[in-house]
Each structure stands twice: as C-alpha cells, then as structure tokens.
Amino acid sequence: MISNFELFQRASRVIPGGVNSPVRAFKAVGGTPRFITRAKGAHFWDAEGQRYTDYIGSWGPMILGHGHPAVLEAVIKAAETGFSFGAPTEREIELVEEILKHVPSMQMVRLVSSGTEAAMSAIRLARGATGRSKIIKFEGCYHGHADALLVKAGSGLATFGNPTSAGVPPEVAQHTIVLEFNNIMQLEEAFSLHGKELACLMIEPIAGNMNFVRASAPFAKRCRELCTQYGALLVFDEVMTGFRVALGGAQSIMGINPDITVLGKVIGGGMPLAAFGGSVDVMSQLAPLGPVYQAGTLSGNPVATACGLATLQIISQPNFYTDLFVKTKQLITGLEQAAHHANIDFSTDAEGGMFGFFTMKELPQNYATVMTTDSPKFNKFFHGMLDRGHYFAPALYETGFVSSAHTEDDISATITAAVEVFKSL
C-alpha cells in the first residue's frame, strides 16, 4: 500500500506544491496532505485506508454526502447518453428553472463551469451594464482568482487596491476598492467618494473564506441602499451559501434582493458547474443578446447538469434544511461545550449546513479580527482530530460543512474526539 507521504512526494515532482488547489497542501497546518481514494455518505478514505468523517464536503457541494443513490443514478444515466455536446440540452433549461423557482431575485441565469468564472463574468456584466469601471469588494471575502478580485486594501479610501498575487497588473487592481467587512462608516465614505464611478459592490453575505463571518443586518441593508442610490449593482456571491444555508440562499434569510447573484458548489452537486443571474434587463446585456461577451465550451455540461438537478430536487423536499441545521447545531454546540470544559476560548456560528468556529471568546466581525485567532492552537486541534479520523478544513480561515448523510452517531463520535483533543491542548 502506497503512503500519503509517498504520493505527496511524487505529486510534488510534477504538480506545483503537489496539489491543484493551494489549501490542499496543508501549508497552513503542517504535515502531509491526505490523498483520498474513495468516499461514501459522510465519510472518505485515504490511500492508507484511514476513514475520516468529512466536514469539508468538497468545500461545500456535497450537501447530500457522497454517492447519494438518486444523484448517482442521474449521473450514470446522463453519462451513457454523452459527456459533452457543445450544443444546448433540455436539462440546462430544467436546471435553470429549478434555480429560478427558489431564488426570486433572478429572472435569467447563465451557466458556467466554476465559481471563479461566474464571479469574473458577473463583474464584467456589471461593468457592461453600467458603463462604469470601479468595483467594491471586502477584505476577507474571496470571489475566485480573477485578476480584479485578487486585491488587498490600499492605504486609504482615496486610493485603490494593491495586487495580492504576482501576475496581477497594478493597473487592473487600481479599479478595485477594498473595504473592511461590516464597517458601515467606511462603506458610506467610499460611496461618497466614488459612488458615481462604481459598477458594482460584490460581497459574500456570509463570508466563508475568513471562516464563517456574517454580514450584519444593518451593514447588508446599507449595501443595498447605497447601490440603489448611486446606480451601482449589488452582487451577492453565493457560491458557498447558495442552496447551502437555505433553499433560497443567504439572501432569503437576510431579506435582501441583489441585482446579480453568483452561484456554484451545491448547484453542481459535486461536479464542475456554477452560474450567475439577475433581472432580464441586466442579463440581456450578455452575448448573444447584448455587448458583454461570455462563453464556455463546457458550460451547461450534460453530466454536470444532471448531477446538479438531481441534487436540487432532493434538497427542495420539505424539512430538509430544518433537519440539516439540527445536525449542524448539534456539532457546533458539542464542540463549543468541549472547548469550554477545557477552559479554551471558543466561539461558533452556523446556518443551514455551513458552520465556523474560532479560538476566541466572541465571534469576529471582520478579517482583521479573524487574523488574531490563536493559529497554533487551531493547528493542534486540526491534527488531533485528523489523527482520530475527523477531517476539518486544513486552514484556520475556512468554513466547514455538514451533509444530510451525517448521522447522530457520526457527530457524537466527533464531539467525543474533540473532548480528548481539547483536553490535550
């Protein structure tokens, strides 16, 4: 049997960092990445045969767990008729109609293949629809790796962002204004200075890439009001929260209608599929109807749409999200109690099947506060849980996920392990 270490060494010779997405490399927590060989339900197994209770769920998509029979049947049936056609299919229409049924802020949707592609396209659409160039994003919110979005804050509101990645030209970053999450005063000042030049404001309504941090109700409301006042488009990035925290996404919980919504992860059921959508007026700006160009060879892929459609049909059944949140709440309450019994500062939050926790007394409201989390303590917790067969995100700043496949026994076993690990800290 080949070991995870041997596979990592082999991968590192032919793949940069040994992985095809950076967080998988375990750089933040140390140690050797686990190479997964198979998955079923709420668990997956690595190359050494170790079983793990899965709390990353492919970073969100696996809301039904791995290998749900109805989804698997739909995928096999679709694959038997063809992998890709480069031409329209009826299933694309069915999937979009299912999405629109649950997200009233959207009237039309364009399917793409990844969250990054959807967010990038949404920015281009907003710029094309408004005739403006500047955008607002928030520190700690991640919208994929498009150039305009890999930007950190400048020195002040009068200046624009700076690239956070090599290869991003300063002249691209200069059109992006980066603000502090949940800071209403800074938000109002930015609109006062730049409002008439803004194409859009893009935000994760519940941030999932600085762990789990909610946009406060007053802050989200002010984002909507200012965008309306200044003619900018409000873009909700619900790649992570869409169909994860509720059937109508985070916007249904907050009672706010964005102008453009970006979706991914759950709508593909674990296959490469994402989308962006909005009103007929906005979406009609896209080619072939309008001047904003966007295209993709594998957009609306017939196997991916089969997977996504089967997933959405199952999660739209009555009480699905109520039952899912009960499980999620059981997990985070148990973790919090275990930490407090060991006299460790610990705070948690969750919505639907998405959760986060921090080694601090109170929940943070922005990225700067998140960065003060006790990183060494988290790393010890991560490895302690991993050694006991429970796989949380291998990074302090990533949210976690529970699926409908998790059982009460799975969660109880995780909490029992957490009690042991917290005592050792």
Catalytic sites, residue numbers: 142, 237, 265
Reference 272, options 315, 232, 234, 301; nearest CA is 301
Percent helix, strand and coil across the chain, each to the nearest 5: 45, 20, 40
> How many CB atoms lie under 10 A from the CB of residue 363?
17
Q: Evaluate whether 388 touches 417 at the Cβ level (below 8 Å).
A: yes
CA 264 to CA 15: how far, in whole Å?
A: 26
Reference 259, options 226, 294, 290; nearest CA is 226
CA 355 to CA 347: how far, in whole Å?
A: 11
Read out DSSP for 345-378?
--EEEEETTEEEEESSSS--SSHHHHTTS-HHHH
Q: Tell me the one-letter amino acid at 29.
A: V
Per the DSSP assignment, residues forming a β-bridge with 112 are 274
* Alpha-carbon dihedral sign for residues 117, 356, 416, 384: positive
**Secondary structure letter of residue 165 according to DSSP:** S
Read out DSSP for 180-238?
-TT-HHHHHHHHHHHGGGEEEEEE-SEE-SSSSEEPPHHHHHHHHHHHHHHTPEEEEEE
